[in-house]
C-alpha cells in the first residue's frame, strides 16, 4: 500500500508564501534552515543516551545555571547554521551573554532569538525537552550590515514568526507566521516534518493548571487564592482542574495548547532574581505569547501587562508568565489584580 502523501513543512511554507505576491522568500528560506538545525538537534537528542552527550559540560551560563552538554550542542548547531543562512543580521541565545553576530557578507533582514534547549533539568531523565525561536524584522529594513542589540530588543507584538520544536514521544514543530498556528510531526524514517495539526486553536477553557507548587510559600496571597479556587470542587464549573507540570516550558505549553490549560510561572519572593519571574522574555515568554494569541488564547504577566506589549530592555530579561486558555487567563488576572 502507498504511504499517504502528506504535506511537508516546506510545501506548507511555500504555499503560504504564494498567498503573498510581495514576499521575497527570505522568511521561507530562514525557516527552512532553522528546520534543518532542529532535525539535527532531534537526531542528537535521540542518540543522547548512546553517544555520551548526557550530563554537565562543566560550564556555568550567564543565568548562573550549569550548562548541560546538550545545551551546548543545540546552541552550536543553531548558531553555526544560522550565522551563514543569509537571512538574519544578529542573534541572541539563552546560552550566550552577548549578541551573536552573523558571518560577514551573510547579513539579512531578520533577527533571531532562541532557547536552544528548553527543559535542561529533564535531559538526563528522558523527559521531553524542546527548542524555542522568535523572529523579528530588523528595525530598519533599509539598514544593511550586522544587526545590533537594538534590533533584538523588540516587543512580542512585532514578531514575524515564532515557534518551537518538542523532542517528545515524537518530534514536533509548531509555529506561526501570523496566519494561525500549525503543527508538523517528524517522520524519522524519511527525515521530513509533515503537517499533522493544521490551524491549532486552544480550547477556550482549561482542563489543566501547570505551576510549580513547590514555590507556594513564596507566592503572594492573591495567587494562593486562585490556586485554591482551581482546586476547589464545583462540578458544574469544571473544577477542580487537573494538575500537570513537567518542568519543560515547551512541553507544558504544548499539552495545554492541544488540550486546554493554563501555565503559570509567576513572580515569587524565593530570591531576588525571581522577583520578576524566572522565564526570559525574548526567547521564552514572547514567542509563546505570539503563538497563543494566534491560537485564540492569551499571555499576561499578572500585574496588568500583556506579554506581547512589553518593550524589552535587555537580552536576558525575565518576566512573570501566565499563559493559556483565554477564560482562565482572564480569571487569574481578576484574582491577581484583586478584582475577585
- Binding footprint of ligand AHG on the chain (CB under 6 A): 65, 94, 115, 118-120, 212, 247-249, 278
Alpha helices in the chain (DSSP H): 9-18, 26-47, 69-83, 149-152, 221-231, 249-259, 286-294, 326-336
Subset of residues 52 to 81 that bind Mn ion, contact rule: CB under 5 A: none
CB 269 to Mn ion: min, Å: 22
Q: How far apart are CA 164 and CA 221, in angstroms?
A: 33
The smaller minimum CB distance to ligand AHG, of residues 247 and 296, is found at 247
CB-nearer residue toward Mn ion: 284 or 328: 284
Nearer to ligand AHG, 107 or 118 (CB): 118
Q: How far is 127 from 251, CA to CA, in rounded Å?
A: 9
Residues 114, 162 contacting (CB under 8 angstroms)? no
Q: Quick check: 297 and 227 in contact, CB under 8 A? A: no
Which of 123, 4, 125 lies closest to 67 in space, CA to CA? 123
Q: Are 260 and 296 in contact (CB under 8 A)?
A: no
- Residue 13 CB, nearest distance to ligand AHG (Å)? 26
Binder to Mn ion among 94, 107, 151, 252 (CB under 5 A)?
A: 94
* Least distance between ligand AHG and beta carbon 37 (Å): 16
Binding part of the chain for Mn ion, among 4-12, 90-98, 137-145, 178-186 by CB under 5 A, reads 90-98
Q: Counting contacts by CB under 5 A, is residue 115 touching Mn ion?
A: yes
The residue at minimum Cβ distance from Mn ion is 118
The three cell numbers of residue 129 are 525537552
60 binding partner (options ligand AHG, Mn ion, none; Cβ < 5 to 8 Å by kind): none
Distance CA 172, CA 254 (A): 10
Residue 278 partner contact from Mn ion, ligand AHG, none using kind-dependent CB cut-offs of 5 to 8 Å: ligand AHG
Looking at beta carbons only, is 22 or 271 nearer to ligand AHG? 271
Of 72, 118, 328, 333, the one binding Mn ion (CB under 5 A) is: 118
| Radius of gyration of the chain from its Cα atoms, rounded to whole angstroms | 20
In the bound complex, what is the minimum distance in angstroms from residue 309's beta carbon to Mn ion? Answer: 22
Q: Measured from the CB atom, is 120 or 294 closer to ligand AHG?
A: 120
Minimum distance from CB of 224 to Mn ion (Å)? 26
- C-alpha cell read off for 162: 515564532
Q: Total binding residues for Mn ion by CB under 5 A? A: 4
Whether the Cβ atoms of residue 193 and residue 185 lie closer than 8 Å to each other: yes
Residue 247 in grid coordinates: 518542568
Say which entry of Mn ion, ligand AHG, none residue 97 contacts (CB below 5 to 8 A, set by partner kind): none
Q: How far is the CB of 109 from Mn ion (least distance, A)?
A: 27
Q: Residue 203 and residue 296: Cα distance in Å, rounded?
A: 8
Instruction: Name the residue nearer to ligand AHG (CB basis): 275 or 337.
Output: 275
Q: In this complex, which beta carbon is closest to Mn ion, that of residue 117 or of residue 257?
A: 117
Range 95-112 burial, b when 16+ CB lie within 10 A, else e = bbeebbebeeebbbbbbb
User: Which partner from the list ligand AHG, Mn ion, none does 247 bind, CB cut-off 5 to 8 Å by kind?
Assistant: ligand AHG
User: Is the separation of the CB atoms in 262 and 226 below 8 Å?
Assistant: no
- Euclidean distance between CA atoms 307 and 290, whole angstroms: 9
Q: How far is the CB of 266 from ligand AHG (least distance, A)?
A: 11
Residue closer to ligand AHG by CB (options 72, 115) is 115
- Contact positions toward Mn ion, by CB under 5 A? 94, 115, 117-118
Amino acid at each position: 500500500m502507498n504511504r499517504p502523501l502528506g504535506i511537508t513543512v516546506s510545501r506548507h511554507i511555500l504555499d503560504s508564501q504564494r498567498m503573498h505576491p510581495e514576499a521575497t522568500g527570505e522568511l521561507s528560506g530562514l525557516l527552512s534552515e532553522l528546520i534543518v538545525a532542529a532535525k539535527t538537534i532531534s537526531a542528537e537528542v535521540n542518540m543522547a543516551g548512546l553517544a555520551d552527550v548526557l550530563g554537565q559540560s562543566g560550564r556555568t551560563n550567564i543565568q548562573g545555571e550549569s550548562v548541560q552538554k546538550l545545551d551546548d550542542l543545540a546552541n552550536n548547531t543553531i548558531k553555526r547554521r544560522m550565522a551563514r543562512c543569509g537571512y538574519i543580521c544578529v542573534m541572541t541565545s539563552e546560552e550566550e551573554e552577548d549578541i551573536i553576530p552573523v558571518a560577514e557578507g551573510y547579513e539579512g533582514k531578520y533577527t533571531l532569538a532562541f532557547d536552544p534547549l528548553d527543559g535542561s533539568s529533564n535531559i538526563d531523565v528522558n523527559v521531553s525537552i524542546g527548542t524555542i525561536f522568535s523572529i523579528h524584522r530588523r528595525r530598519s529594513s533599509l539598514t544593511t550590515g550586522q544587526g545590533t542589540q537594538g534590533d533584538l530588543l523588540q516587543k512580542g507584538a512585532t514578531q514575524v514568526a515564532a515557534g518551537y520544536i518538542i523532542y517528545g514521544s515524537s518530534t514536533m514543530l509548531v509555529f506561526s507566521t501570523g496566519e494561525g498556528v500549525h503543527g508538523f510531526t517528524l517522520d524519522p524514517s524519511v527525515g521530513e516534518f509533515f503537517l499533522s495539526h493544521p490551524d491549532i486553536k486552544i480550547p477556550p477553557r482549561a482542563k489543566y493548571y501547570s505551576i510549580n507548587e513547590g514555590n507556594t510559600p513564596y507566592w503572594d496571597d492573591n495567587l494562593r487564592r486562585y490556586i485554591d479556587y482551581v482546586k476547589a470542587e464545583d462540578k458544574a464549573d469544571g473544577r477542580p482542574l487537573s494538575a500537570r507540570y513537567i518542568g519543560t516550558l515547551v512541553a507544558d505549553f504544548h499539552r495545554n495548547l492541544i488540550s486546554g490549560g493554563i501555565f503559570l510561572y509567576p513572580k515569587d519572593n524565593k530570591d531576588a532574581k525571581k522577583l520578576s519571574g524566572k522565564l526570559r522574555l525574548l526567547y521564552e515568554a514572547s514567542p509563546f505569547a505570539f503563538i497563543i494569541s494566534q491560537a485564540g488564547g492569551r499571555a499576561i504577566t499578572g500585574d496588568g501587562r500583556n506579554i506581547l506589549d512589553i518593550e524589552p530592555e535587555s537580552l536576558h530579561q525575565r518576566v512573570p508568565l501566565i499563559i493559556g486558555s483565554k477564560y482562565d487567563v482572564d480569571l487569574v488576572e481578576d484574582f491577581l489584580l484583586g478584582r475577585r
